[in-house]
């Protein structure tokens, strides 16, 4: 059994302690924005040999480091993996490995289907090691705390909300208690442009496709470009057509968010966020 550095031993002990706490003591979490929360604690003890971790650093930096940062705390475009819920709930790669193999095309993450098993194991070890270090550390190079973003005036935000957002949203309906589910940076990002897991729009547009014989099909847009329109009908059936053979009308409920981006000031943005934070 190789020697463990003291830091890792301490982190493992901490992880073990947290595991014994009731889950209700944990603050609510969401997938959207790891940087808005404290570092989530690993749910399973992670134990890797130092030489595997060292090999993992090399493979991680080369394959993952530009986007996720050479130390896994976030780089150009990619998330801080030490604050990732998925990493926190991973056991020896059971969640990380399939994601690395498949990629997240919608979020711009490439797939690594041919990565050697030993390399992937080493990458998993390195990420967990970095995470253990982050759990023990204070602050964070790219951290954004909930209090950081709460600089707006909730009353002004409410006025803005009631004049600009209520045609689609309701504080007693879809947004009831929103701040109990998502807060801080995660809520800000969702407010600006709602994304679901993997960076995909939270609500896909719907398409009404009219064929030459007059038949009309309506469904959620599965994909859409200049040449092909594909929808998923209510019964789950996938259908696609060349765009030059049909006429297509798109209803995108998120288009209003895109238009809003050009009209927000930083002040109104923070005001609306402050108001949404009162919805608990």
Partner 1 sequence: MKHAPIFLAVAALGTAVHAQPDSWSTYHGDYSGRRHSALTQVTTDNVHTLALAWAFQTNLTQQVKSTPILVDGIVYLTAPDNLWAIDARSGRQIWRYQHPPNDAFHIGHRGVAVHGSSVFLTTPDAHLLSFDRFSGKLNWNVEIADSARGFWSTNAPLVIREHVIVGVSGDFDNLPGTLRAFDPATGAAQWTFYSTPPAGTPDPLSGGATGGQMWMTGTYDAELNLLYVGTGNPTPVLNGASRPGDNKWTCSIVALDPDTGELEWGFQISPHDTHDWDASEVPVLVDAKFGGADRKLLLQASRNGYYVVLDRTTGENLLTTPFAALNWSLGVDAKGQPIPNPAKEPARDGRLVAPDEVGATNYRSPSFDPATGLLIVSAADAYGVYFFKPEHGEYGWAGADYGVHSRGELRALDYATGAVRWRHDLHGGAGAAGVLTTASGLTFTGDSANSALALRTADGTTLWHAGVGRVGNSPVTYELDGRQYVLIGGGSALYAFALPEPR
Interface residue with partner 1, options 69, 93, 157, 219 (CB under 8 A)? 69
Residue among 50, 70, 198, 205 that touches partner 1 (CB under 8 A): 70
Q: State in angstroms the smallest separation of the CB of 280 from partner 1.
A: 20
Cα dist. 144→38, 140, 148, 150 in Å? 9, 9, 6, 11
- The distance of closest approach from Cβ of residue 185 to partner 1 in the complex, given in angstroms and rounded to an integer, is 7
Closest CB 235 distance from partner 1, rounded Å: 26
Q: Cα(216)–Cα(207) distance, rounded to whole angstroms?
A: 10
User: Which span sits near partner 1 by CB under 8 A: 43-51, 160-168, 212-220, 262-270?
Assistant: 262-270
Question: What is the number of H-type helices and E-type strands within the chain?
Answer: 11, 5
76 forms part of the interface with partner 1 (CB under 8 A): yes
Question: Counting contacts by CB under 8 A, is residue 3 touching partner 1?
Answer: no
Per CB under 8 A, the list member of 97, 134, 144, 221 interacting with partner 1 is 144
232-235: long-range contacts, CB 8 A cutoff, minimum separation 24:
none
Task: Tell me whether residue 128 or residue 224 sits nearer to partner 1 (CB atom).
Answer: 224
Pick the stretch among 21-29, 43-51, 104-112, 203-211 that binds partner 1 (CB under 8 A): 104-112
* Cβ atoms of residues 277 and 187 within 8 Å: yes
How far from 149 is each of 177, 186, 189, 268, CA to CA, in Å? 19, 10, 11, 13
By beta-carbon proximity to partner 1, the closer residue of 75 and 219 is 75
Residue 208 is encoded by which pair of tokens?
A: 């009404």
Single out the residue of 193, 197, 233, 256 in contact with partner 1 (rule: CB under 8 A).
Answer: 193
Residues in Cβ contact with 203 at an 8 Å cutoff, skipping those fewer than 6 apart: 194, 253, 254
Q: Scanning the structure block, which residue is given the tokens 């009353």?
A: 155
- 141 interacts with partner 1 by CB under 8 A: yes
Kindly state the helix (H) or strand (E) to which residue 209 belongs, with its residue range.
strand 206-210
Binding site for partner 1 (CB under 8 A): 33, 35, 57-59, 61-63, 65-67, 69-70, 74-77, 110-115, 139-144, 148-151, 185, 188-189, 192-193, 223-227, 257-258, 261-262, 264, 266, 269-270
């Amino acid at each position: 059994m190789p020697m463990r550095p003291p830091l890792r031993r301490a982190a493992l002990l901490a992880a073990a302690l947290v595991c014994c706490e009731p889950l209700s003591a944990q603050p609510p979490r969401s997938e959207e924005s790891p940087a808005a929360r404290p570092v989530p604690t690993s749910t399973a003890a992670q134990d890797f040999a130092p030489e595997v971790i060292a090999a993992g650093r090399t493979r991680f930096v080369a394959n993952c480091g530009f986007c996720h940062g050479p130390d896994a705390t976030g780089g150009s475009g990619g998330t801080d993996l030490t604050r990732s819920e998925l990493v926190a709930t991973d056991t020896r790669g059971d969640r990380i490995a399939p994601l690395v193999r498949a990629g997240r095309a919608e979020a711009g993450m490439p797939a690594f289907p041919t990565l050697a098993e030993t390399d992937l194991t080493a990458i998993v070890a390195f990420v967990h090691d970095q995470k253990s270090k982050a759990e023990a550390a204070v602050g964070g190079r790219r951290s954004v705390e909930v209090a950081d973003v709460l600089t707006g005036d909730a009353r002004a935000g409410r006025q803005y909300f009631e004049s600009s957002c209520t045609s689609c949203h309701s504080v007693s309906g879809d947004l009831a208690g929103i701040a109990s589910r998502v807060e801080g940076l995660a809520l800000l990002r969702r407010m600006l442009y709602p994304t679901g897991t993997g960076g995909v729009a939270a609500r896909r547009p719907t398409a009404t496709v009219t064929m030459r014989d007059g038949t009309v099909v309506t469904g959620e847009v599965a994909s859409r470009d200049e040449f092909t329109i594909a929808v998923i009908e209510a019964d789950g059936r996938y259908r696609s057509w060349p765009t030059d053979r049909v006429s297509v009308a798109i209803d995108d409920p998120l288009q209003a968010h895109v238009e809003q981006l050009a009209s927000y000031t930083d002040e109104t943005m923070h005001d609306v966020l402050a108001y949404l934070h009162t919805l608990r």
